[in-house]
Structure 1
Amino acid sequence: MTQPAEPEGASDDAPQEALSLRPLAAADWDAWYDALEVAFGEVEAAERRALWRALTEVDRALGVWDGAVPVGSAAAWTFRMAVPGGAVLPTAGVTMVGVAPTHRRRGVLTALMRHQLDEIHELGESLAVLKASEPGIYGRYGYGLAGWKLDVRIARSRVRILGPGPGRAQQQRIRLRLADPARSSAACERLYARQVPPRPGMLARRPGWDRLSLLDPPEERQGHTALQCVLAEDRRDGELLGYARYSTKVEWQHGGAAGEVRVREVTAAEPAAHAALWAYLLDLDLTDTVLAENLPVDDPLLHLVSDPRRLCPQLSDSLFVRLVEVGDALRSRRYAAPVDVVLEVADEFCPWNTGRWHLHSAGPATAAACEPTDAPADLALSVRELGAAYLGGGTLAALARAGLVRELRPGALAAASHAFAWDVAPWLPHEF
């Protein structure tokens, strides 16, 4: 979780002398996390807090201290993220960013971000990503909005699943089976892992992170049942083709059932399994509404339902990407079309990125090259815009229409925008 603890307009680049920035010691974790909860104005369930403590990479956590009191925090997790073309790259997952309300506008956040980006660069990770509780602050640190998500609220009696075209035989070979979420987790994790490379923005799940997918503190259920899991399997050999995790809440209004289904996750390896799982979720007895958060913007559900308006889709920001090492990041992904362009990149926070970069690729089947150059620039942009376009979701052309990318050579924008785009939308289902 990240929080804008220092608003736009703060001018200091470093904490005042009374404050000290230093790596976190394991013994200080509780006090450090207590300060983070104050910054967020919330107290987490004990079970969730214990899991965050177990997952924290202490050697990648930073704190700012006022004497003996922690007043600022930032951390990173060691992840690997899929990028266009199927490569899964080392990526820093920025998290636990907060500043005490008593210490805002004192350069605390700026110092944390600068120190953290230097460390990420030294570790050789060319990418950093985050999810922002409030996104307005992170652009000035070079993070661009690269991925969106959809939330849906479905009046289930008003829609039906149409099914994937002529695939009735395929649907008939699928068996749905309720399973214990924990006992089925290993098989579900193997299926999740197979979905990572084709989808930009997905994070490979590291050992121990499967526990976050199963976390279900009773005090967070808000009247819902414990977490449930349904598996979609091949009748012929029992192969797992998909799964859904969800909970239900029974309510009654005017003598009738008006329960709710809260969908936590739907993962499927093929269209028929995806359709079967959603048909199941939209047909649970005693329920009236199905809620699902964090679907990809190109989710097949948009095309499977009889009336997409009844999904009441709501779009919101999800994944912010920062290119920490421009050359390595740009040559590590594939491009949808041939591209030969010189980019003039501005990067105030990571000066090693500032300058002109010659990017060229023969298309999606070949590796790209990206090197510093003195050749005239074709496009001018900041590292934030590169981050926004990097995963192929937002386009350079759209950013140019917003005045954020400048075309310096006629025709360069259209060609580069087409090459950066990708036919699978970025998506981040992995919480952190």
Structure 2
Amino acid sequence: MYRHKKGAGGFRLHKKRDRRQGNNDVTKKTTPAVSAKNVEMQFGGFKAVKDASFELENGRFLTILGPSGSGKTTLLRMIAGFLTPTAGEIYINGEAVRAVAPNKRSIGMVFQKLALFPHMTAAENVAFPLKMRRFDARTIPDRVAEYLKLVRLEGFENRRINQLSGGQQQRVAIARALVFGPDLLLLDEPLAALDRKLREEMQLEFRRIQKELGVTTINVTHDQREALVVSDQIIVMNDGEIQQDAAPSTMYRIPNNPFVANFIGVTNAFQGTLARHEDGVAVAKFGAVEMRGVPGGKGNAAAGAPVKGAVRAEQIRIAATKAELGGLDALFEGTVSDVIFEGERLLYEVSVPALGAQPIRIFHHDQDDFASHAAGSTVHIGWKSRDLHIFVAR
């Protein structure tokens, strides 16, 4: 594993030291790499970011996830120092961003529009920030070669940008953002314009490079899969507010509210009313059906409160007979309305009259059993109560 280290000729890649650290390293370890405290951004009468607070540890990969207009890019631009918060403060390694001159901020950035210089070669693009920062000219060629090797572009040093593929251009942009040894790497939807296969390959490349260097990274995206694949920590935003801040597995398995449950993954939602609480389990009535589930969010609502139920598509089982679904807590009969082949899985849409007019979506991964439920056939579906999250409706 490697980290950036400053030397006489600029920054060099050095192996990470043993974790037995001195006092300065202990202080750095306990100070968040990035923190936001009650940050707001207002444009005229519109609040793009509302009371946002979070902390990011050194060496971690954070993704800020949300739909268009959720405030995620505005928050990133405040972290970069391009925008000044109208309230609150953002700190990098304990120092307020607004207190540091833009040319003194140790931040590397990769944008959706890569802004590479077309008249330069790959090596010249990577060398550019070193020359702008007046690195020792004698060290630049070796440093450029080191970072092109890091992004697996050995042999492409003399190619001009228009002679490189989209993925190769992405790698040049990554090398250019990292070559001067920034304390923080910011990614502003750099993969959004790529096709799906290349985008998924580059997601793994981002993760590999970030883990190898140990550079603290913040990524902005609307791609849920990308967030789950690359991140140590995810913040979900909507309407300018942080909806949840958690590890990917926690975010996926224990969503904070209906928005997070619906935004990450494919989720089936039901409208109902709360019947009662029983030993930490919520019991709700959806139509004429009572179901048990995990109380979502904070606090317990009173009986009769409107609630939303949420169960993920992959947590629902489907079978030809009820007997095949032994051990499940909620069981229903339905009719297959559509079957969609997605390669590694089938997506079933099943009409279940007891649960309302909206079809229930189910992922089926058993490739030996792909053709077992044709459209129009009667099936039984079910899930365990631990897989149903019940939220108080807002």
- Flag the structure with more relative contact order, 1 or 2, with Cα contacts below 8 A and sequence separation at least 6: 1
The normalised TM-score by structure 1 is 0.27
Structure with bigger strand share is 2
Larger Rg computed on CA atoms: 2
TM-score by length of 2: 0.29
